Amino acid sequence: MKIYFELNGVPQYPEVEPGESLLQLLRRLGMKSVKEGCGTGDCGACTVLVDGRAVRSCIAFAARAQGKRIITLEGLGTVNDPHPLQEAFLDAGAVQCGFCTPGMILVAYELLSRHPDPTPEEVRTAIVGNLCRCTGYRKIVDAVMLAAEWKREGRWR
């Protein structure tokens, strides 16, 4: 089946297999930031934004992308021009192995687009479904708080 969707602002018309997950499709299209940590919807590593909402791509069918706008971490910023959230994760030391990072940043992105002034507790609630085994979460919360501050200061694009 051929579907249409927008991936990081670029139209896509891929052929999808029946039963193919959105995770598999996106990785097949080169979006390697979409990580598989469990494949059962329990870790959040595969999180992407579908029409602005955080979705676990491992338990979503690829066909669900039809007509949607999908954003993966590749769509936020680049090494030479990172998004403030990406910058904040670096500044705060929120990245250890970095495997949970794509999902964390996208969930934070969703949170801050709804709610630019969260408390640390609200940040923790937002990322509760995203497991990180390395950091103990503290510096991830710090990073999101820092990015929120920058957003309120108008430093986001």
Partner 1 sequence: MAVSVAAKARDVVGQNVHKVDGPALVCGKPLFTLDMDVPGALVGKILHSPHAHAMIEAIDTSAAEAIPGVACILHFGNVPRIPHTTAGQGWPEPSPYDTVLFDRKVRYVGDRVAAVAATSEEAADEALRKIRVEYKVLPAVLSVDEALAPGAPVIHDEPDAEGIYDAQRNIAAAVDIPVGDVDRALAESPVTAEATCEIPYLQHTPIEPHCVIAYFDEDGRLVIRTSTQVPFHVRRIVARVLALPMSRIRVVKPRIGGGFGAKQEIILEPVAGALALRTGRPVRIAYTREEEFVASRTRHPMRVTVKLGAGRDGTLRAIDMEALSNTGAYGTHSLTVLSNVGSKTLPLYNKARHLRFHGKAVYTNLPVAGAYRGYGATQGYFALEVAMDILAEKLGLDPLELRQRNHIRVGETSPIFEKIGEGREGKAQIVRSCALPECLRIGAERIGWKRNRGRRRREGPWAYGVGMACAMQGSGITGIDMGAATIVMNEDGSFRLLVGATDLGTGSDTVLAQIAAEALGVSVDKVLVYSSDTDFTPFDVGAYASSTTYVSGLAVLKAAEDVRRQILDVAAAALEEAPEDLELSQGAVRSVRSGRAVTLADVGHRATYVVDQHQIAATASCVAPESPPPFAAFFCEVAVDTETGLVRVERFVAVADCGVAIHPKQAEGQLEGAVVQGIGHALYEEMLFSGRGRCVNPSFFDYKIPSALDVPEVEAILVPSEEPTGPFGAKSIAEVGINGPLPAISNAIYDAVGIRLTRAPFTPERVLSALRSRTG
- What are the residues whose beta carbons fall under 8 Å from the beta carbon of 157, sequence distance 6 or more? 83, 84
CB-wise, 53 or 155, nearer to ligand FES?
Answer: 53
CB-wise, 7 or 66, nearer to partner 1?
Answer: 7
Among candidate residues 113, 112, 100, the one with its CA nearest the CA of residue 145: 112
Using CA atoms, how far apart are residues 64 and 134, in angstroms rounded to an integer?
32
C-beta of 46: minimal distance to partner 1 in Å? 11
C-beta of 104: minimal distance to ligand FES in Å? 7
Q: Is 100 in the site for ligand FES (CB under 6 A)?
A: yes
Neighbour count for residue 133 (Cβ, 10 Å)? 11
User: Which residues would be at the binding site for ligand FES (CB under 6 A)?
Assistant: 36-39, 41-46, 56, 58, 95-100, 132-135
